[in-house]
Structures are given as C-alpha cells and as structure tokens.
Structure 1
Amino acid sequence: MYLDKQMKVIYGMIATGVVVLLLVTGSLAYHFGKQTAPKATSQVTNQTKKELLKPAEVKTFLKAYTTKKKDGDNRRDYRPYMTPEMYQEEVAKEKEPDRKQFGAFMVDYKYQGSDIYLNPDKPEVLVKVDYTLTYLRKPDQYEDAQKGIKNTLQLKLTYTKKGNSYLIDRMEPVILDDVTTQSNQETPEIARMP
C-alpha cells in the first residue's frame, strides 16, 4: 500500500512536470512566433512601399518636361528625373534641324493635366499628358499669335532604379486607345460548340 501511494505521487509529479513543461514550451513558442511575424510583415510592407513608383513623382516630371518658354528652356527642370544617357538623348532631339526650325514658332508650353498608368510588375508607366502652347506666325513676334492651342503627348516611360530613386531610362511614343470607344463597337457573336 505504501508503494501504491508513492507510485501515485511519483506519477502525479511526472504528469504535473509534463503539463508545466508543455505550457512553458507553448508559451515560449507563441511569444517568439508573435514577435517575429509582425516584424517580417512590416519589413516586407516597407520594402514594397519604397520600391514602387509613385504617381506624384511621375506627375512632377511631366510638369517639368512639358512646361517651358521654348525648346530647351526646361532642361534643368527635367534633368534630375532622367539617367544621364536619356538626358543626352533628349538634348540631341532638341538640337535636330527640323525641331529647331519649328521650335521657333512654338512657345509658352504649359502643362494642363495627365493620366498616369503604372505597371504593377515592372518600372514602366504609360502617360497621356495634355498641354497648351502658343503658335507664332513669325519667330519672336507675338502679334497675331494663336494662344492656348491644345496638344496631347502619349508616352511609355521605362524607369531604372539608381540608389534610392527611380530615373527614366527610356521614353517612347505610344498610342493609347480609348477603351470606351472600342467597347461601343459591335462585337461579333461567338458560335457555340455542339
């Protein structure tokens, strides 16, 4: 009988020890799991936020790019948004003979608004920029000038990451079709499979 009481006490102590050990292990696992999970999530969220292109940054570039007195006057304004190679390419375009000839007649470019479409998978942006300009009949003579002529510029901007910021590495003209125009057209009926 004495042995039975001792065995019960021993079994009770072992059972209590196992329960206490499980509780301690479970609470430690919960505590450390809880601490590391939010940190990992917040780090991913912060990295994602840092790496995305922001529409406000694209809009700031578009304003700098399309607002100018005449061709070349705004180079210092848009230069910080481009890679050195893209900037040199843009300066070379401004110096082309045809552009110089017509540039003397087109002045007072002013940004009016833009539609910005960000690619969520790549650092690419499609933009549609509305701006106005003044057309001179003779260079440097504002008499009889046509003011407020509306124009639209449609571009694909490809960015590259340099340090902590994104810079435009390539600018290509594109044609953005209006989806509502296409959806109003009749669509052919699709034949059903037998």
Structure 2
Amino acid sequence: MKDEKKVRRLRFYILSGVALLIAIVSYSFGGLGKVPKSQVKSQVSTAKKIDLTKAKINEVEITQKDVKKFLVAYYTKKDLEENRNRYKPFMTDSMYKTALSAEETPVAQTYKGYVINQKFQDAKVYIDATNQTVLVKVDYSYVTLTKKTDKASDGMSNNSTATLLLTYQKTGKSLLVNNIQNVSFDDRSSDTSQGIKGQEAIYEQSESKTTTSDEKLPTAEERLGTTTASVEKPKTDEESK
C-alpha cells in the first residue's frame, strides 16, 4: 500500500512539473508576438516621418529664388560666351546645346567684343507651377564699344528689358530650363519657335553687314528688334483679388 501511495505521489509531482513547464513555455512563446503599445506608437510615428521626408524629396518646385539665380547667370557676362559655365547647370542638355548654337551664329559672333559687361539688374517673375512655366520680365544693362580695343569706360552704357517664357523640365531631382521663348505683352499672338531668345536683340543686324573699327554701332533702340512674340500678361495674386 505504501508503495502505491509513493507511486501516486511521484506521478502527481511529475504531472505537476510537466504542466508547469508547458505553462512557462507557452507564456514565453506567446510573449514573443506581443509588442508594447508605446513601442507600436513609436514605430508608426517613425514611419510617418520617413514617408514625409521621402515626399519632400520627391516634390520639386520652381521658386522665385531659383529663377533669379538662373537669370543672373544667364544675363551677367563680360562678353559673349564668357558665362557658359555659369548658366549650364540651370539648363537641360538640349537647351544648353541650343544656347551654344545661338551664340555661335554669324550675327552674334560679329558683335563679340563690341557688346560687353552685360549685367542682370532686376526681374519680375510669374510662376505657373501647374505647367512648369515661368514668365519673367528682365531688366539688364550692357556697354557697347566703337572699337574692340576701347576700354569699357569709353563705351556707351545701355539699359534694356526682355520678356521671356521659361519652360522647365524635371531632370533627376531637379527642374531645369528646357526652353526659352521671347514674348511680349503687346498682343495675344505667340511665337512657337524653339531656341534661345531674349538677348539676340542686342546683335540683331543684317548678316551681310560688317562692322569696321570706324563704324559706329546702332543705338540701343535700333538694336532692340521687333521679332518678339506676344502673350497676355498674367495677373499677380494682388491684382487678381
């Protein structure tokens, strides 16, 4: 009888130990799949921050500051071709090639050395973010010389204005100028020709005409051509109210 009692007690202890072991193992494995609420909130918050950061990187906008940086680089030059390395970063490859071709035309090359010290003065900028276009009215100055050997102080100072329609294109993570179109507010017709515009008025002369050292350059008014196209001037936020 005593042996049977001992066997029963032993079985009880063994079963109790097995049950306790199973309970411990079950609790341990069950806990692995549970994450504290505070940790869950932290992870969600971090994920949101990462998503917002990515969104900001992917969103590229045209700003007044960036447009003016381009205009300064494009309009400020000591002489023809001197500012190529400065305006290149703001243009697409195709636009840059077009700009180089325009500077290498016979008309532009004829006046190289006679039109110098061109400087950006100011600009009014109207941004159309939806169509990635920018309308700008640029004021700039330059000096014309009678002889290439003359000093800048001997030349004639001129002030001029150009109105351009800039078309931007997303390239990589940047928005670059992909087309420059010369426009006017005189009427509603528009120039659909491609290419670089806005500065060629300085050099607008008949290609058959050459300039000698004794020959005077035309006045600023005569140099400003009338081949610009026209668009309607957009309203600023204040004007549209």
TM over 0.5: yes
TM-score by length of 1: 0.66
Please say which structure displays the higher CA radius of gyration: 2
C-alpha displacement of 1:144 = 3.6
After TM superposition, what 4+ stretches of structure 1 lie above 6 angstroms from structure 2?
none
Q: Tell me the matched-pair count.
A: 146
Contact 2:169 2:176 in 1 (8 A): yes
1:21-42 Cα distance to aligned partner (Å, 9 max, x none): xxxxxxxxxxx9xx79xx59x9
Taking structure 1 as reference, are residues 128 and 66 closer, same or farther at Cα in structure 2, changes over 3 Å only?
A: same
Partner of 2:155: 145
C-alpha displacement of 1:51 = 2.1
Structure 2 CA distance for aligned equivalents of residues 49 and 126 of structure 1:
24
1:133-175 Cα distance to aligned partner (Å, 9 max, x none): 001011231264112x101121111011011110111111111
Structure 2 CA distance for aligned equivalents of residues 92 and 171 of structure 1:
14
Where does 1:147-166 land on structure 2 (aligned, <5 Å)?
A: 147=157, 149-166=158-175
Structure 1 unaligned segments of length 5 or more: list them.
1-31, 181-194
Structure 2 unaligned segments of length 5 or more: list them.
1-40, 187-232, 236-241
Of Structure 1 and Structure 2, the greater helix share is in 1
TM-score by length of 2: 0.53
Aligned AA (2:126): Y
Partner of 1:128: 137
Of Structure 1 and Structure 2, the greater strand share is in 1
Contact 2:61 2:175 in 1 (8 A): no
Percent of aligned pairs with the same residue? 31
Structure 1 CA distance for aligned equivalents of residues 82 and 135 of structure 2:
25
| 1:105 aligned residue (98, 114, 117) | 114
Where does 1:2-151 land on structure 2 (aligned, <5 Å)?
A: 39=48, 43=52, 47=56, 50-142=59-151, 144-147=154-157, 149-151=158-160
C-alpha displacement of 1:73 = 0.1
